[in-house]
Structure 1
Amino acid sequence: MPLRDAAFAILAALVAGGVGPAVAASADPEGEHVILQTPAGGLSGVTIEGVRAFKGVPYAAPPVGTGRWRPPAPAPHWTGLRDARAFGPACVQPTPRVQTIYSADLGRTSEDCLTLNIWTPANAEKAPVIVWIHGGALVAGSSRETLYDGSRLAAQGVVVVSINYRLGVLGYLAHPALSAESTDGVSGNYGLMDQIEALKWVQRNIAAFGGDPQNVTIAGESAGGLSVMYLMASPPARGLFTKVIAQSAYMISTPELKAARYGMPSAEDAGARLARTLQAPSARALRSLDAQTLTDAAALAGFLPFGAVDGKLLPGQLVDVFDRGDQAPVPILAGFNSGEVRSLKMLAPPTPSSPADYERTIRERYGDLADAFLALYPSSDMGESILATTRDALYGWTSERLVRSQTALQRPSFLYYFDHGYPAADAAGLHGFHASELPYMFGRLTRTPPLWPKVPDTAEERALSDVMVAYWTAFARDGAPGQVAGVSWPAYGEERQFMRFEKMPRPAERLLPGMFDLHEQAMCRRRASGTQPWNWNVGLASPSLIGTAGSTGGECG
């Protein structure tokens, strides 16, 4: 599927919807009030069942008015006591036009949205910290989503921080006029800058909440996982975290700021084209537009946000940075789900009229790689093969590439495959669907969106959630998930070991044999051609890979 055509499908689907100790002050229907003094200022939060929660805490100044499309400025210190018992507004995002299983009421949105939330054990001291980056295609989502309730993880001894960051056109617009304003001559990547500013806030303040600033894990799912990889590759983020968790991440090609490459226009050219469409050719004109009107219009025009290779925040394509070994040398836990594309079918091409058509197209597109492709994704079950192709090319290949890369840096690396189903999901054809691991690893099985297939309240489901919570918190604490319920999670290593989550965890070796090698070769050929992107245009939607063989570096050698 071409990048621009896919933009409409993705937007339609994913836009759905001195430091002192805490002192209890007064009772509250939602818990007991608690006051905390931090370097940023005093906070009034709430304690429930031994977990303190502080919500809607600003980490950066509001990026409004002339602050729109500028690097975030640190939030000013406040005096007095700030009420931190309610989430802040979500960042501005396109008005929902369809409903999906991910749809949820995020409440008010605003440009004044650069806030974070903290859940911490009541008596925490130098506790490990998880900073959670929400998903939503860099277009939608919020740290206030019920899926991301950090109270259960905090009850296991981890400080959890969830963050907002600028989204869509407000977070990732590049434009020549905006670059001209910058002392570095760059634009775009504002959402990534926000994430870095939030991590700096954590470094300055998290000790007041009982967290250890020297033991910070960044974690995210989907676009949150993409953000984790951007942060691993970004020099300004170096030293702000010590471990990473990437769930259903996708290491796709991304635009370069000033040059057209890999079949994509430069990020500046794409931004200038959007500005002309919006009849706002200057930075001043763009800033004069109402934030919601601008965001909706950009989405309808097909603007799809990604990080831009600018030589400062992002020094190169992710595959190149990781091939050079220039990413953050930290332990990693990464993985994906068996049914990723069952809930994201807009990412998959339509099914051909016959198996013969399927095989002919694959041979035309994949050439000498076609036999390997058809062995993995046969024409005998075209529907399942198409879903598996897109799943593997985006999420499976990325997950294995990540653990291979960190293993090469001699860092502990752990791979998982979430293949768990339950009655409501399986009945809807959504076994192991995209993000279905989140209620389990957050330990909040009942905190799902309204249209989400309901997780049954059974001992079996709770047991799986318990072990995932234990593995994730152990990794955040020690850099290894260790042993839970008598089952040790092995490092990836030379045996290519991974953990399979079905009814319960089960160690195994060599996930989906041949999968990684096929999609690595396909990416290598596209990169060598210099004219082809690598994203969800795979399988039947792939460009021809014939005659583009040959590349150097990393896995492509």
Structure 2
Amino acid sequence: MAKAWIPLGLFLVLAVTVTDSRAASPTAATASGQLAGKSATVEGVALDEFLGIPFAAPPVGALRWKPPQPAPAWQGVRQAQAFGAQCMQLGLYDDMMFRSKGMAEDCLFLNVWAPAAHTGGKLPVLVYFYGGGFNAGDGSEKRYDGASMATRGIVTVTVNYRLGVFGFLAHPALTAESPEHASGNYGLLDQTAALQWVKANIAAFGGDPAQVTIAGESAGSMSVSGHMASKLSRGLFARAIGESGAMFAPLAPPDRAAGEALTELFATAIGKPSIAELRAMSAKELLEATRIQKNFHFGPIIDGRFLTQSPEKTFQTHQQTDVPLLLGSNSQEGACAELLNDSPPSAKNYRQYVTSRFGASAGKVLAQYPANSDAQALQSCTDLATDLHIAHSTWRWMAWQHRNGKAPVWFYYYAQPRPATRKPVPGQRPDAGAVHSAEIEYALGNLDGNLVYAWTDADRTTSHVMQSYFANFIIHGDPNGKGLPAWPAVAEQGGGLLRQTIDAHTRTEVDPHSARHAALQSVIEEEAKSEQ
């Protein structure tokens, strides 16, 4: 039976950041040199902020498409009061609000928010990886701001990593020059380098290198699943949080041969067939080439270094880093229009799509995503788009860790729709469900950094609960805490698995979607066997 919870509305506090009046800039000593940050006060808590810290050498020139190298040391005190450049990317998403100044290939910077009274290096640490399809994003985005989490006693870090063609190009020549006979996944190697930097330096900011939680949304969540699977990341984190996304089917990474073949087609298309010619291009020229050749999408592969086999196989054989895991997805991750190419969402059109996409397995899909009326077809189509887009991969990650891991798993279903916008367009309606990426501001306590939406008391209640769950997990390895609806770890009950539905009335339920995910898993695995 579901546990209903009525919000008390006692914690509707605006998060406001102001410059602190303390005269001296906070300082921190890292392995590369001394840093001078800036002071801030958030919700009455004094914080130290260190922005734009280089954690690796600039990946330019001969270091383009090389694993990240150590950051060079500097003399004197380096100013760390402004965000570093964002990594090279096309302007793909209109909801990304960057605070960095410009874009450059020299972009491997991270940012730290810490309580000002830190001593002894014993505070828990959150390292957050942004989303953006491995082709966009930046650690300066307002929704990832670390100040609110820092007020909870958590040293919070956001990390830049190389994107798109700069971060994920594989090439036979790169493979040949690699001691590990690997190429690709440079963006993921950047993340690993950042975690190594955190292990070596975070005590200088009050953080405990033995209490690091890695987290991320979308591509960042997929990255977290990859770090749990990668041997390179062992010993660099103690807990993991995934928000919508995993490197599991249908988002499993292809092998290196496929990545190399994609690069060779791209290089031929732009008339730069050799790696020397590609390296000789300016960053702007290379980025513009990806704009023109827009059918080439560079992302994670089984490169032979960061990943030596599919992450799903790693979890199936219990070779993953087995740490407490908190993860989930949103109620409306996808839209029916993505499947039907903007055709009317009728039962007829939807059934035609399912038959075309799944062939002999169409009946099994329609049994779980039915279309007995146009209204039902629209909901089923939206659910199927949600699962194929990202929710099903997240469910598989949860299921395999629950089945084959020893550490506990907490699984959520985020269902709070965003409210109306402050300046609604005529005819505009709020989303019926929680769309992809909608939970970020709620989870990190950053509603007030997003001025697009007219946040309500229900939104602030939801944010308080979700951020508290996250903070408790980061601090204690368990999301539960005083004043919160109880959240049991994943367990079998009533023919399904327990999950926490998070919205204005957060509650525990038996996952009603287990059957549809199991059916979809079976269909996807059958397709994979037929393609072998």
- Match for 2:104: what amino acid? S
2:300 equivalent in structure 1: 307
In structure 2, give the amino acid aligned to 1:113.
C
- Contact 1:470-1:484 within 8 A present in 2 as well: no
Q: Partner letter of residue 109 of structure 1?
A: M
Q: Distance in 1 between matches of 2:438 and 2:432?
A: 9
Residue identity matched to 2:305: K
Decide whether aligned partners of structure 1 residues 330 and 28 sit closer, same or farther in structure 2, where only a CA change above 3 A counts: closer
Report what 1:475 is aligned to.
Answer: 473
Q: Which runs of 5+ in 2 are unaligned?
A: 1-18, 422-427
Shift of 1:480: 1.2
| Structure 1 letter corresponding to 2:190 | D
Q: 1:115 aligns with which of 103, 109, 115?
A: 109
Is the deviation greater in 126-135 or in 402-411? 402-411
Corresponding residue for residue 79 of structure 2: 83
Using the TM superposition, give the Cα deviation of residue 340 of structure 1 relative to its aligned residue in structure 2, in angstroms. 1.3
Which residue identity does 2:491 align to in structure 1? G
Number of equivalent positions: 491
Confirm or deny: 8 A CA contact 1:61 1:74 kept in the other structure.
yes
Corresponding residue of 1:356: 348
Matches of 1:123 and 1:482 in 2, distance apart? 26
AA aligned to 1:253 is A
Q: Deviations over 1:40-67 (max 9, x none)?
A: 3211111212111100000000011111
1:429 paired to 2:431: yes
In structure 1, the partner of 2:16 is: none
Cα 1:290–1:31 change in 2 (3 A) is farther
Q: Deviations over 1:276-309 (max 9, x none)?
A: 1121111211111111221221243122122121
Distance 1:368 1:485 in 2: 50
Equivalence for 1:207: 203
> Does the CA-based 8 Å contact 2:416-2:462 persist in structure 1?
no
Q: Which residue number corresponds to residue 128 of structure 1?
A: 124
Matching residue of 1:3: none
Mapping for residues 180-259 of structure 1, pairs under 5 Å: 180-250=176-246, 251=248, 252-258=251-257
Q: Which amino acid counterpart does residue 354 of structure 2 have in structure 1?
A: I
Residue of structure 2 equivalent to 1:53: 49
Distance in 1, Cα, partners of 2:412 & 2:89: 32
The residue correspondences of 1:163-174 to structure 2 (distance < 5 A) are 163-174=159-170
Provide the residue aligned with 2:25 in structure 1: 33
Measured in 2, the distance between the counterparts of 1:165 and 1:131 equals 13
2:472 aligns to what SS in structure 1?
A: helix
User: How many Å separate the matches in 2 of 1:438 and 1:79?
Assistant: 38
Question: Which residue is 1:459 aligned to?
Answer: 457
Q: 1:272 to 1:248 in 2, by over 3 A?
A: same
What CA distance in whole angstroms lies between the structure 1 residues aligned with 2:109 and 2:290? 24
Cα separation, partners in 2 of 1:219 and 1:31, compared to 1, 3 Å: farther
Distance 2:254 2:359 in 1: 27
**376 and 39 in structure 1: CA distance in 2 versus 1, 3 angstrom threshold:** same
Q: Give the 3-state SS of the residue equivalent to 1:56 in structure 2.
A: strand
Task: Please say which of residues 516-525 and 299-308 is displaced more in the overlay.
Answer: 299-308
TM-score, normalised with respect to structure 2: 0.87
Listed as ranges, the matches of 1:276-291 within 5 Å are 276-291=268-283
Shift of 1:103: 6.2
Q: For the residues of structure 1 that align with 2:482 and 2:531, how far apart are their CA atoms?
A: 46
Residue pairs, 1:270-349, within 5 angstroms: 270-301=262-293, 302-342=295-335, 346=338, 349=341
Q: Is 1:391 the counterpart of 2:386 in the alignment? A: yes
State the secondary structure of the residue aligned to 1:142: coil
Q: Residue 147 in 1 paired to residue 139 in 2? A: no
- Specify the alignment match of 2:14 in structure 1: none
TM superposition shift of 1:31: 8.5
SS in 1 for 2:194: helix
Query: For the structure 1 residues 429 and 422, does the alpha-carbon distance in structure 2 shift closer, same or farther, using more than 3 Å as the test?
Result: closer
Shift of residue 492, structure 1, vs aligned partner = 0.6
Deviations along 1:57-112, one digit per CA (max 9) or x if unpaired, are: 00000011111111110112222111011000000112x2x763446575401111
- Tell me the secondary structure at the aligned position of residue 314 of structure 1: coil
Q: What is the aligned counterpart of 1:42 among 28, 34, 37? A: 34
The answer for unaligned runs of 5 or more in structure 1 is 1-26, 259-265, 532-557
- 1:348/1:53 Cα in 2 relative to 1: closer, same or farther (>3 Å)? farther
Cα distance, 1:525 vs. partner?
Answer: 1.2
Q: Which amino acid aligns with 2:431?
A: G
State the AA in 1 paired with 2:509: A
Alpha-carbon spacing, 1:360–1:294, altered in 2? closer, same or farther (3 Å): closer
1:407 maps to which residue? Answer: 402
Aligned partner of 1:66 in structure 2 is 62
> Once the two structures are superposed, what CA deviation does each residue of 1:231-280 show, in whole Å capped at 9, x if it has no partner?
1111111111111111011421322112xxxxxxx111111111111211
Aligned-partner SS, 1:129: strand
Query: 2:500 is matched with which residue?
Result: 499
Partner of 1:548: none
Instruction: Return 312-321 or 114-123, whichever deviates more.
Output: 312-321
Do the aligned residues in 2 keep the contact of 1:498 with 1:511 (CA within 8 Å)?
Answer: no
**Superposition RMSD on alpha carbons, in Å?**
2.3
Q: Give the counterpart letter for 1:337 in structure 2.
A: N
Q: Distance in 1 between matches of 2:55 and 2:321?
A: 24
Query: Shift in Å at residue 470 of structure 1?
Result: 1.1
Distance 1:29 1:297 in 2: 48
Partner of 2:5: none
Aligned to 1:11: none
Structure 1 residues 195 and 100: alpha-carbon distance in aligned structure 2, compared to 1, 3 A threshold: same
Mapped partners of 2:351, 2:213: distance in 1: 44
Are 2:84 and 2:101, in contact at CA under 8 Å, matched by a contact in 1? Answer: no
Query: Mean Cα displacement is larger for which, 464-473 or 393-402?
Result: 393-402
Map 1:502-521; keep pairs closer than 5 Å: 502-521=503-522
